[in-house]
Amino acid sequence: MSEDLVWEAPKGSWASSEARRRNMQAIRSRDTKPEKLIRRLVHAHGLRYRVAARPLPSLRRTADMVFRPVKVAVFIDGCYWHGCPEHYVPPKTNPGYWSEKVVRNVERDRDTDRQLREAGWLVLRFWEHESAEKCSLAICEAVTERRASGRKSSL
């Protein structure tokens, strides 16, 4: 095999191999199976929402489901990318980069929660491994409760 055909990770690259790079690039950031299932169940209850939307225009982060009139933001977090205490397994390849990335993701999640709460939003976070039925019921209850209490957005 010719040397010019062998892919090498550039110094400081996030991927340890071309195969790993392709694998990581193929991972969805939205419309995952857990998200789609929960959305379908919530929709079946008659609730409507925005998908992958910014709850706050000034916040450059998106929630998986946004119920803007009642200020409810829903996040369905992946166990690996968000550091699930039950299922997160530290990576074997390039562990420094990936572990630091997960830590940054968790810190960003906490910051997002704080900013949304300060703006009067209810933040609901679920792990991808949680029961879609239970998640959808919790979402429906929260949205219904906020509607009943007359909690309206100032937008």
In order of 11, 57, 81, 122, the CA distances from 68 in angstroms are: 44, 11, 26, 11
pLDDT at 9: 43
For 6-15, 38-47, 83-92, which range has the lowest pLDDT when averaged over its residues? Answer: 6-15
Q: Which two tokens stand for residue 2?
A: 């010719």
Average pLDDT over residues 90-118: 93
Residue 14 domain-assigned (yes or no):
no
Q: Predicted confidence band at 134 (pLDDT cuts at 50, 70, 90)?
A: very high
Task: Report yes or no on 144 lying in a domain.
Answer: yes
Does residue 6 lie in a domain region? Answer: no
- Asked if the model's pLDDT at residue 65 lies above 80, the reply is yes
81: Cβ–Cβ under 8 A, 6 or more apart, which residues?
102, 105
* Percentage, residues of the chain above pLDDT 90: 67
- pLDDT at 127 exceeding the cut of 80: yes
Say if residue 60's pLDDT is above 80: yes
16 belongs to a structural domain = no
- Burial of residue 62, with CB atoms counted within 10 A of its CB: 0-12 exposed, 13-18 middle, 19 or more buried: middle
Answer yes or no: is 154 within a domain.
Answer: no
Domain extent, residue 131, equals: 29-148
Structural domains counted in the chain:
1
Average pLDDT over residues 129-150: 97
What value does the mean pLDDT take over residues 125-139? 98
CATH number for the domain including 60? 3.40.960.10
What percent of the chain is predicted at pLDDT more than 70?
Answer: 78
Tokens representing residue 71 in the block: 């200020």
Neighbours of 24 (CB within 10 A): 12
Residue 24 falls inside a structural domain: no
Say whether pLDDT at 151 is over 90: no
Question: Helices 132-148 and 33-44 meet at what angle, rounded to 10?
Answer: 50
Mean pLDDT of the chain: 86
Q: Average the pLDDT over 18-32 and give the result.
A: 65
- Does residue 54 lie within any of the structural domains? yes
Asked if residue 6 lies in contact with residue 19, where contact means CB atoms within 8 angstroms, the answer is no
pLDDT of residue 98: 85
pLDDT surpasses 90 at 153: no
